[in-house]
Structure 1
Amino acid sequence: MLEIDGKESRMTSQKTQPITLKIAVVGDVHDQWEVEDGIALKHLGVDLVLFVGDFGNESVEVVKAIASLDIPKAAVMGNHDAWYTATEWGRKKCPYDRSKEDWVQEQLDLLGSAHVGYGKLDFPDWNLTVVGGRPFTWGGSEWRFADICKERYGVTSPEESAAKITAAVKSAATDTIIFLGHNGPSGLGDRPEDPCGKDWHPIGGDFGDPDFAEAISQTLTAGKTIPLVTFGHMHHSLRHTKKELRKAIFRSPEGIIYLNAASVPRIVENDSQKLRNFSLVTLEAGVVTQAALVWVGNDLQVVSEEILYERSHSVVQPA
């Protein structure tokens, strides 16, 4: 057995994939993170935790709690994680003295190497690299939050952004890439119920990030394997209707599973019981075989499970 960050991993050898890798994706947190969440993840037996951002409005204490989670993890920052910094509107409402404090940087410092926005985190024992999309993205084709991208990363356009993400891929120690973004890429549909579809008036339109899509395309061209692209930002609950939910899964012709994990609110009270959700992805030999949204109750048991995707196995008939 091998040890990764103090956690025993189910490995056959250092050069091969684990028999089964269980990945938890935590959707937009929005200040809903408790000690019990870490306990639940341990109880679920996950090997890796991916956070899609929007921890809160520059919520340093929430990020501090998440950074202390002793399970291998990777995270990317969302637009709310620079809420009082990225725009003039936000700076006017800032609750702290920005000349003396920088809550955005505090969050980044707390996460350290676990923050993969415009970067990557290698897990060589699993033959896996997590690459982050553009941090602090608002979504859509319009270049929003331009100041923070320029000031923090020297990025001034979608083209430069795609190049920076692709550079992280090129520096990866493995050829199997999981992409982690706050918002998803463009190209997943333009209906309001699609994974990144615009669900406010006028409804309809693709609100995915074109720079993210371009980086994914270049990664495929480079011959890398991409089993999973996961993100949040566009909540499952639609703003224009309560009759249906956003589609959480898209499978591309190349076999990539795109997972929107933003089931918000992620903690709810139900019949005096507190329920918390996680998206669970099973990766076998570098291939996604199942993705599900689970709700965990007070006793750490899975109260409900919605299978979002399950790989079909063709049956070979005996001759």
Structure 2
Amino acid sequence: MPQSVSIAIVGDVHQQWGPADEAALQALAVDLVLFVGDFGNEDLAVVEQIAALGLPKAAICGNHDAWYTATPWGRRKRPYDPAVSDRFQAQLDALGAAHVGYGKLDFAQLGITVVGARPFSWGGSKWRNKTFYRDRYGIEGFADSTARIVAVARTATQPTVLVIGHNGPKGLGHQPEDICGKDWNPIGGDYGDPDLSAAIAQLEPELHRQGKSLPLVSFGHMHHRLRHRKDRLRTCLVQQGKTLYLNAARCPRLLDSPAGPLRNFSLVTLAGGAVTASQLVWLDASQRVVESEDLLAQAEIRAEPVPPGPKKVRKKVRKKAHGRASGRFFWFFLDLLNPHPA
């Protein structure tokens, strides 16, 4: 196993993927790529490109990847006949074993097991799409979902366990700027997944007893660009105990600039079962890194889960930013000039 592992996390794609992205990942020389879903509205062509990526990878699908399948509204709007061509199932077939929703993938050469949370999550504490989850996965609610995630994680064969979900876990804050905070009306509230937080709470002590680590939980869904204010972006990295929670949904992930299109990836370096570095990088058309934000230096530190409720804001302790993090303001304003994906 290598002394360190370089991982790229690709946030919500929303159809912004092409050959230049694979070239960028090759230039970054990453060992593993994690996709957190929302490739498009059941966009099979995009999913097939990602499935063909010639690098070790794991993926989980998001709510947009079941846009015309999971809800009655979506099925009424479906632009294709599933009896003729089932794009939803074709996505899963294309990804094959790389799709780890309610599953896992062992990367023995890296000493890593990637465990998938609930696929196609919309987020929040309301159990949505009951028929979809019952018929597709035999899951009847949050308790069933937690049990499925835990059962799969217990089969991990590698010493370092990573969890990916489309949405993050509940318990990381209820302010709209928090990593999974609700930033649409009515403003505020924790929109994390309660089944994922319950699964992590069960798994952490078990993994510790087995001599395994859970250094990273990565996800997307809650876009960094906030709906209710434009003077800042969402918190994207939280450290709680020995686990880092990374929201990779910097959307749109492709930006126009005077020098041409730029694309972003969230990077994590693992060594000794722990995260030692994390950046958000932007690459230009020549696969050159033109800006890098030190995410680890900006991480919000939480000593314990934050209970839900709007009454009192728990004081947050932040590490002092350093390095090139100040460059984030340029990219923040550039981001504002680009349209937000649906």
Q: TM-score, normalised by structure 2?
A: 0.84
1:299 corresponds, among 286, 294, 312, to 286
Partner SS for 2:109: helix
Partner SS for 2:265: strand
1:240 corresponds, among 212, 228, 231, to 228
Contact between 1:231 and 1:259, CA under 8 Å: does it hold in 2? yes
Task: Let me know the Cα RMSD of the aligned residues.
Answer: 1.2
Q: Report the CA distance between 1:156 and its aligned residue.
A: 0.9
Contact between 2:42 and 2:66, CA under 8 Å: does it hold in 1? yes
CA distance in 1, matches of 2:194, 2:237: 19
**Alignment of 1:66 onto 2:55:** no
CA distance in 2, matches of 1:286, 1:264: 29
2:277 corresponds, among 287, 290, 294, to 290
Partner SS for 2:204: helix
Amino acid at match of 1:242: K
CA distance in 2, matches of 1:278, 1:77: 18
**Alignment of 1:84 onto 2:68:** yes
CA distance in 2, matches of 1:189, 1:217: 16
Give the structure 2 partner of residue 231 of structure 1: 219
Give the structure 2 partner of residue 278 of structure 1: 265
2:91 corresponds, among 100, 107, 112, to 107
Greater shift, 146-155 or 82-91, is seen at 146-155
Amino acid at match of 1:236: H
1:32-89 CA-to-partner distances (Å, cap 9, x unmatched) read 0010000000000000000000000000000000000010000000000000000011
Amino acid at match of 1:309: L
CA distance in 2, matches of 1:197, 1:187: 10
Q: Report the CA distance between 1:101 and its aligned residue.
A: 2.1
Give the structure 2 partner of residue 54 of structure 1: 38
Q: Report the CA distance between 1:230 and its aligned residue.
A: 0.2
Greater shift, 122-131 or 152-161, is seen at 122-131
**Alignment of 1:93 onto 2:77:** yes
Q: Which runs of 4+ in 1 moved over 4 A?
A: none
CA distance in 2, matches of 1:31, 1:245: 22
CA distance in 2, matches of 1:233, 1:86: 16
Give the structure 2 partner of residue 165 of structure 1: 149
Partner SS for 2:175: coil
Structure 2: gaps spanning 5 or more residues: 300-318, 320-342
CA distance in 1, matches of 2:157, 2:36: 22
Contact between 1:75 and 1:114, CA under 8 Å: does it hold in 2? yes
1:143-199 CA-to-partner distances (Å, cap 9, x unmatched) read 112222111110010000000000111111124210000000001100101110000
Identical aligned residues as a percent:
55
Contact between 2:159 and 2:273, CA under 8 Å: does it hold in 1? no
CA distance in 1, matches of 2:290, 2:175: 31
Contact between 1:177 and 1:226, CA under 8 Å: does it hold in 2? yes
CA distance in 2, matches of 1:146, 1:33: 31
Amino acid at match of 2:99: H
Amino acid at match of 1:264: C
Amino acid at match of 1:182: H
Contact between 1:24 and 1:49, CA under 8 Å: does it hold in 2? yes
Give the structure 1 partner of residue 111 of structure 2: 127
Contact between 2:204 and 2:214, CA under 8 Å: does it hold in 1? yes
Contact between 1:269 and 1:275, CA under 8 Å: does it hold in 2? yes
Structure 1: gaps spanning 5 or more residues: 1-10, 12-17, 313-319
Give the structure 2 partner of residue 315 of structure 1: none
CA distance in 2, matches of 1:109, 1:140: 28
1:105-139 CA-to-partner distances (Å, cap 9, x unmatched) read 10001000000000000012222100000000000
CA distance in 1, matches of 2:122, 2:181: 13
Contact between 1:138 and 1:145, CA under 8 Å: does it hold in 2? no
Give the structure 2 partner of residue 207 of structure 1: 191
Partner SS for 1:283: strand
Contact between 1:136 and 1:145, CA under 8 Å: does it hold in 2? no
Equivalenced residues, count:
295
**Alignment of 1:257 onto 2:241:** no
CA distance in 1, matches of 2:190, 2:124: 7
1:226-257 CA-to-partner distances (Å, cap 9, x unmatched) read 000000000000011111100000000x2200
